[in-house]
């Protein structure tokens, strides 16, 4: 079992995510129980006290594919704000829930075409609402 | 490097996916080059000749989480048909492109909350357009 530090979550995101989870059936969201467990043990901070290098809701994250060096950006959003463009990722989508609370420098592996793993590194938080002073976004 | 067999793709899905990729900028889709490479070497069949246990576009797939035994369903869709519900997954989303051409019994790992890997097995193709005789869907 991989050991990971607790994720850091803002109190506002926590409140909204708990309301979302309460309204979402398990069959609609693989890993609902796992996200609830992460939130239960998260390091919760006031929005103004969030570290600036952590992925929060509505943050735009720049990733880099380890193999190709290709970089791309995705914004972690609530389901109501998701589209299919690939530039916004819902917290209820596979991988989406993995991003919350990760930090610049963290690497995750997700399955790519043909089921082959893609190693993907977080290289920057391009936009973070809390850092931008948007504490109620 | 993991060795995987070529994916099986219908000629109709292939045509539509190539048009989609031509219209999608690389920064909007991590793994665009990887999907193109998979399509280039795919085993292409007429829609009527698709094996019934393979994930095609608009197929509804039943998964099971290895750890919890929890099962859930997702439908692999084109971006225009995606929503943020978690029940439809865009071919341009992380993990989405991994599903195309996989078979019942295949297992993939995707990152879950806190970045912890979730092992997820395809246990059934609940609906496959080709199997249902919807050869132009």
Q: Are B87 and B76 in contact (CB under 8 A)?
A: no
Query: Is the per-residue pLDDT at A103 higher than 90?
Result: yes
Q: Residue B73's CB: how many other CB atoms inside 10 A?
A: 16
Using CA atoms of A27, B100, B117, A73 in order, give the dihedral in degrees to the nearest 10: -100
* Mutation target among B114, B117, B121 for the A interface, most CBs of A within 10 A: B114
Taking an 8 Å cut-off on Cβ atoms, the answer to whether B72 and A38 are in contact is no
pLDDT tens for chain B, 137 residues long, are 456 678 999 999 999 999 999 998 877 677 888 899 999 999 999 999 999 999 999 999 999 989 888 888 899 999 888 876 668 888 988 888 999 999 999 999 989 888 888 899 999 999 999 999 988 77
Residue A3 has what pLDDT? 60
Give the chain A residue whose CA is nearest to the CA of B109: A111
What percentage of chain A exceeds 70 in pLDDT? 94
From B24, B27, B65, residue closest to A30, measured CB to CB: B65
Q: Residues A129, A39, A73, B84: is their CA dihedral positive or negative? A: negative
Q: Are B99 and B76 in contact (CB under 8 A)?
A: yes
Q: Are A123 and A104 in contact (CB under 8 A)?
A: yes
C-alpha to C-alpha distances, B128 to B14, B51, B74, nearest whole angstrom: 16, 10, 12
Residue B1 has what pLDDT? 45
Residue B25 has what pLDDT? 81
Using CA atoms of B119, B125, B128, B132 in order, give the dihedral in degrees to the nearest 10: 180
Domain covering A8-127 assigned CATH 3.10.50.30 in the classification: yes
Residue B3 has what pLDDT? 60
């Amino acid at each position: 079992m991989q050991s990971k530090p607790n994720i850091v979550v803002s109190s506002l995101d926590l409140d909204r995510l708990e309301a979302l989870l309460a309204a979402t059936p398990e069959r609609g969201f693989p890993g609902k129980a796992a996200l609830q467990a992460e939130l239960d043990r998260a390091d919760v901070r006031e929005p103004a006290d969030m570290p600036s290098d952590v992925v929060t809701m509505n943050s735009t994250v720049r990733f880099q594919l380890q193999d190709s060096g290709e970089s791309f950006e995705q914004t972690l959003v609530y389901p109501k704000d998701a589209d299919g463009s690939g530039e916004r990722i819902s917290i209820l989508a596979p991988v989406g829930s993995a991003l919350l609370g990760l930090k610049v420098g963290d690497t995750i592996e997700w399955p790519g075409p043909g089921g082959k793993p893609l190693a993907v590194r977080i290289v920057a938080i391009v936009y973070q609402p809390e850092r931008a002073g948007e504490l109620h976004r």
